[in-house]
Every structure is written in C-alpha cells, then in structure tokens.
C-alpha cells in the first residue's frame, strides 16, 4: 500500500495515457500517493489541460491515438524547461530510451511497471533541487518552504492543512498581484472533481483566520468578482 505523504499533498500531475484500464490504475495509485491527477487520453486533450493548468509534473505515454508522446514533450520543452516529465512506453530498445531522454524527458519507465515504482520515481523527480519547487517564499513575517511544506510565522513553526498550505503557496508566488479565482480553483482541485460553489470562500476564510491567530503580518484581500491578493499592509 502506498502511504499518503503530507509533503506532496496537492501536487498536481497530468497523466497522458490512452489505455482506459491503465489510466484508471494510474490515477488511483497517484491519488493514493497524495497527488491531484488530471488524465488525458490523447495529445489534443493533454494540450488543452496544459494550456489552462499549471502542473508540478507530467507522465507521458508514447504511443497515443493522435501521435507520439515525444512530439508533445518537444513542444513542452520549447517553453518550459523545468516541468518534470516521466515517459511511459512499451518500447524497450536502448535507442528509444535515448530518444526519450534526448528530447527532454527527466525519467523513463517501461511497461509493464509497478505502480509503487512510478510513484517513487515521481517523488524523486519532484525533489530535485533544480525543480521550480525548491525555494522559500517569504512575505512580511511569513515564510513557506515549498519543498518541506513548512510554514513559519514570526520565526515560529505553524502547522497548516495541505490545502491551506497550497493556497498560501499560490498567493505567495503571486504576492502583490491578483490571483484570479478560476486559476486558484484549477490549481487547488482536479478539473473533474465537483466543487461546492463556496468551497474557495470557506478555504480563504479559514486561512485568513489561521494567519491572524498566528500573528502573520500579510493580509489576504478579496478583489470582488476577480480573485484574491496577498500583500503586506501599506
Ligand atoms: Ca498507449
């Protein structure tokens, strides 16, 4: 059984796999591993997801109904060199491995594989120091270590839930500018999961209260009809 790891909770993955049974297995194993997962069955769907959602990593099958996953890998690498990408394939020739890695993949797994190995490899990719995740975000007396998911307020460790931590991270990454509500929702929840209409408000309300109780100086502002903005008081 794969244990849920708080440290990686709410990381968002895009899995691109056209075999329905394998897709379901992938999603189940990864969700159990603490990831939020969007599943695309072909290159076109994957492009749609990538256009609107910011992912922490992608799992890419090679043989897809509308082309080779390598084509998408090359497209992604033109604009994003840091997104960790793991290639899945039934092909096992050494030349295929080289092609995948030369095209910008970070890792390579040959089918059939064991789900725990996939989850372990993704965790390893997400822990790499050059991943965009390895930084401490600060604002006022608040600091968030994005790898360990530790929050410090006024130099004291404070414990937040994974979802509160994720929201805080999104706000801190865009501190001083508005995070559009829809973008916030996309980053916090899988696209195909039903979300109560006031779920975001409830989460913001709770996060505000927790920050206030812990004596944080930054404030979350609601920009009516647009989204949320985190800043130090003027
Ligand atoms: Ca396939």
Name the more confident of 168 and 107: 168
CA 62–ligand 1 middle distance (angstroms):
6
More confident residue, 98 or 120: 120
Q: What's the confidence (pLDDT) of residue 91? A: 66
Q: How far apart are CA 137 and CA 4, in angstroms?
A: 25
Q: How many Cα atoms within 13 Å fall on the side-chain side of residue 6? A: 9
pLDDT tens readout for residues 46-78: 999 998 888 999 999 999 999 999 999 999 988
d(CA 82, ligand 1 centre) in Å: 25
User: pLDDT tens digit string along 148-202?
Assistant: 788 999 999 999 988 898 899 889 888 888 888 887 887 777 554 666 678 889 9
Q: How confident is the model at residue 103 (pLDDT cuts 50, 70, 90)?
A: confident
The rounded Å distance from CA 19 to ligand 1 centre is: 6
Residue with the larger pLDDT of the pair 128 and 177: 177
Provide the residues around ligand 1 (an ion) whose CB is within 5 A.
18, 61, 63
Read off the pLDDT band of 131 (50, 70, 90): very low
Ligand 1 midpoint to CA 64 (Å): 5
Instruction: List the domains of the chain with CATH numbers.
Output: 11-126 (3.40.50.2300), 136-231 (1.10.10.10)
3-class secondary structure, 219: strand
Q: How far is the CA of 51 from the centre of ligand 1 (A)?
A: 22
- Cα 68 to averaged position of ligand 1 atoms, centre (Å): 9
Average of per-residue pLDDT across 8-27: 87
How high is the mean pLDDT of the chain?
A: 84
Quote the ligand 1 centre to 227 CA distance (angstroms): 39
Over 59-113, what HEC string results? EEECEECCEEHHHHHHHHHHHCCCCCEEEEECCCCHHHHHHHHHCCCCEEEECCC
* pTM of the model as a whole: 0.54
């Amino acid at each position: 059984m794969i244990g849920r790891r708080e440290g990686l909770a709410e990381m968002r993955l895009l899995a691109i796999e056209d075999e329905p049974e394998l897709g379901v297995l992938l999603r189940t194993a990864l969700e159990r591993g603490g990831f939020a997962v969007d599943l695309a069955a072909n290159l076109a769907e994957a492009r749609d997801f990538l256009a609107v959602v910011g992912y922490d990593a992608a799992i890419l099958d090679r043989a897809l109904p509308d082309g080779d996953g390598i084509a998408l890998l090359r497209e992604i690498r033109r604009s994003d060199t840091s997104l960790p990408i793991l290639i899945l394939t039934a092909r096992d020739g050494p030349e295929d491995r080289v092609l995948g890695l030369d095209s910008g993949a970070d890792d390579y797994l040959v089918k059939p594989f064991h789900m725990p190995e996939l989850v372990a490899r993704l965790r390893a990719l997400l822990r790499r120091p050059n991943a965009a995740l390895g930084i401490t975000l600060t604002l006022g007396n608040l600091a968030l270590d994005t790898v360990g998911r530790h929050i410090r307020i006024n130099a004291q460790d404070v414990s937040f839930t994974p979802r509160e931590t994720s929201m805080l991270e999104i706000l801190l990454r865009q501190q001083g500018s508005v995070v559009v509500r829809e973008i916030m929702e996309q980053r916090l929840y899988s696209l195909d999961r039903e979300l109560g209409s006031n779920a975001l408000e409830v989460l913001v309300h709770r996060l505000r209260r927790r920050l206030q109780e812990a004596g944080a100086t930054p404030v979350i502002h609601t920009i009516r009809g647009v989204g949320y903005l985190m800043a130090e008081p003027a």
